Structures are given as C-alpha cells and as structure tokens.
Structure 1
Amino acid sequence: MGPAKVAVPCPNDFLQKRSKEPKLAPKKKEEDGKKLLPLSVPPRTYHPVTRTKKNFISKNALAVMTGEPKKPRHFCVDTRQGDKYLLEPSGLFPKYINKKNYGVLPKYVIQRNEEMKREEEEYQANVLEQLKKKAMKVLSEEERTDILKALKKNWEEINRAYQGLPIVTDTRYKQMHKEELELKLKQLEHDIAAIEKHKCVYIANICSNRQNEKKSSYFIP
C-alpha cells in the first residue's frame, strides 16, 4: 500500500536547452573510397559558357556609320543665369500644326453629320408628303360647270318655293320659313356669282375631330 517507489533521477540528467528539437541525420561519409554522385541542380556559382560567332565591335561600328545622327533638342533660355527648359513640351513649339491630319475632321464627326443630313432629308420628305396629302385640289372645268348648274337648279327650286309663299305672313312659322328661304337664296346667289367670276376653284378636305367625317369645301382665290 502507498505510492510506488520510483528511482530518483540523477542530477546530471537535467533538461537541456533545445534538447527536444528534431535533429538532422548525420552526413554520409565516403565508404570504401567511393564518391557520392553530384546533385542534378547546379550550384548558384555556376555560370554557363556561351560562345557566339558574332563580332559585336564591327556590328556596332557599322550601325554608327549607317545610322542617322542624333538631332539636337531645342531649348529655351528665359533668365540671365542661363536657366533653360525644353521648347517642345512648353507649348511654344508648333508641334500640332505640322501634323498631316491637322485641321481634318475626325471620321466620327463626318459620320454624325451625314446621319443628321439624312435624317433632315427624311423629315423634309415626310413633311412634303403630308402637305401633298393635305393640299387643296383644283376643280376641273367640267366639275365647275356641273357645280354651277346644280347651284342654279337649287336656286330655281328654292325661288319657286319662295314665290309660292302667301302674301300675308301673319304667323311666326310663316315669318321664319320666309327668312330661311331668303337666306338660302342669298347664299346661293353669292356662291353662283363667285364661281362664275373665278375660273380656278380649290377644294380642301376638312376632317372633323369629333365625328371623324370628311366634309368638302371650296376655296376661291
């Protein structure tokens, strides 16, 4: 009974620093005079030897002789001390006016102008078409003669009815009927005189918005 009897550790076997970290295996030494094979990856100090047959000296000399000379850069000095700056990026050098496309309209502007012109032409054509539809029609001579005959015939009928009225108009109905016939005769006489006076008569189609009915009327210039 009681705690187990365990051997007391020796004071010399104390826990040392980094004793529990994993340790690398020791390097293999050459055995029996045999060398180990080199690694497949070259070391960092390895520099491959490249041999070319080009003569860079003669090539550079030929490029210098045949090349264009370096153009001097334009400077502008603005102080007595000799402070200078490049002339090209300063805005004083005519850089853009020497371009080939200077002052030429871009393609998108030309295309947009053409589209606007085409739309304007289509709009004008549509307006002319609508005006032609709404334009007044010229009455032919035959139709003018027929209308004149019909007006005169209508005037004769109304005049006959007017002549057949009683002499005494003692009632309100008789007075109104007589005034109505007089107005019709007066209007017919005005229309007959206007058509006989003018040879060109125009007819316009007037659409009624409420009843959607077309009524013909004549116009005399």
Structure 2
Amino acid sequence: MAMDPGCFSESIYNLIPSDWKEPPQPPRYTSIFKTAIKNDMQKLKTSMKTMGPAKVEVPSPKDFLKKHSKEKPLPPKKKFDWNEPRKPPVPLRSEHPVMGIQSEKNFITTNAADVIMGVAKKPKPIYVDKRTGDKHDLEPSGLVPKYINKKDYGATPEYICKRNEEIKKAQEEYDNFVQESLKKAAMKRLSDEEREAVLQGLKKNWEEVHKEFQSLSVFIDSIPKKIRKQKLEQEMKQLEHDIGIIEKHKIIYIANK
C-alpha cells in the first residue's frame, strides 16, 4: 500500500525536530531594456537641467539704448510736384457773391401741405417687462405671431411627403412580394367567413369542455379523476391559445395538402 508523501511515518527519528531550511529565493526579474531606458532618461535630464539656453551671449557695451531709438520714424519726405492740380484760389476782396436771386416756391405752404397729406408716423412697438418701466423692442422678442401668417404655415413639408410616399411604395412592394411568395409556396388564404366559422367552432368546443369541467366532482380523490381533470384543463388551455391567435391575426394562410 502506497503511503501519502504529505503524511509523516511513525518513526523514532521523526520525534527529533529538524532545522527548517528556508528555500532559496528565485532570481529577481531584470528587464533587458533597463540600460537603454536609463541612458535615454539621462540624456533628457542633461538637456533640461537649466532654465533657458545653456550659453547666453553677453550684450556688447556698444549696443546701448540710444535716445529716440524706439520712436517710429517719420515717412520719407515727398518732393513737391508743380504739375499736380491745385485747389481753386481764394476769391479776391473785390469779388462779391451773386445776390438777389429769389425762388418762386412757397416753402411755408409746401411744408404745411406735406404735413397735412402725410401719413402719421407709427410708434415703435415695445413691451415692458419690469415694474420700473424697462422697455424692449417687441419684434425680436418672439411675442409677435409672425410665423402663423406665412402661406405655408401648418403645411406638411415636402421632404416628409416624399418620405411617406417612399414608405408607402416600399410597403406595397413588400406586400406584393409576400403575396407572390405565398402563391409560390402553395398557401391558401382563409376567407373572413371561414375564419369566423373556425373561431365560432373553437369557442363552442371550449364551452363544451368547460361545461364538462364544471360537472366534475368537488373532491378529486382518485387517480382517474385527476387524470381526467388534467386532460380537460389542457384541452381548455389549448383552445384558449388557438382562439387568441385567430383573434389576433386577421389574415391567416393555410398550406394546401
């Protein structure tokens, strides 16, 4: 019989405790990229040891700041050209303006007629939003119903009409494809009268099974009674499932045998 290596055997030599020797530790992990990274970091540190350039040129004592050196220089002088056109000369003292010219227009009557026949100036529409009387323009405030006066207000946008037509066309194509697929698969569509007749027949069957289920005895104390009760419950559940499917789907297809 083999002995478990983890279990010590009963021997007199095992009674003396032996010195426990600590197992040697595995060698420490050292990356092969340690030297390369150390050299790169040393280069970066050496280049960033100072603030600014390492060597700065000392300004020469001859390049001192001179007076008016920072002022903007004047534009160069333009040579005068005698051939350029000049302004008209100043009138002489002996020259007098034309006097005595009168207009036949009656400015008083004309101004009065313009005021009487003119349209009164409408005040600028404003609104007040505080009790202290702060006034603001009414038009940019959004309180003026100017959008409902547009000709196309409330009309369906053209892109939505186009999208609805595309959706309708795609639905018609899909319906035609389904009809052709069903015809190829030799499927027959159940008419409304046949669907209603099947539905009424299922309901009538359910009523008969339900009536039979209610006629069971109150105490189910035998195995045949339990089997019959389970059978009736299963039939009622299946009929309810079929009735729900037929009522949910108005279009029903059956395979031709």
**TM-score exceeds 0.5:** no
TM-score between both structures, scaled by the size of structure 2: 0.28
Which is richer in strand?
A: 1
Query: What TM-score does the superposition give when structure 1 sets the normalisation length?
Result: 0.33
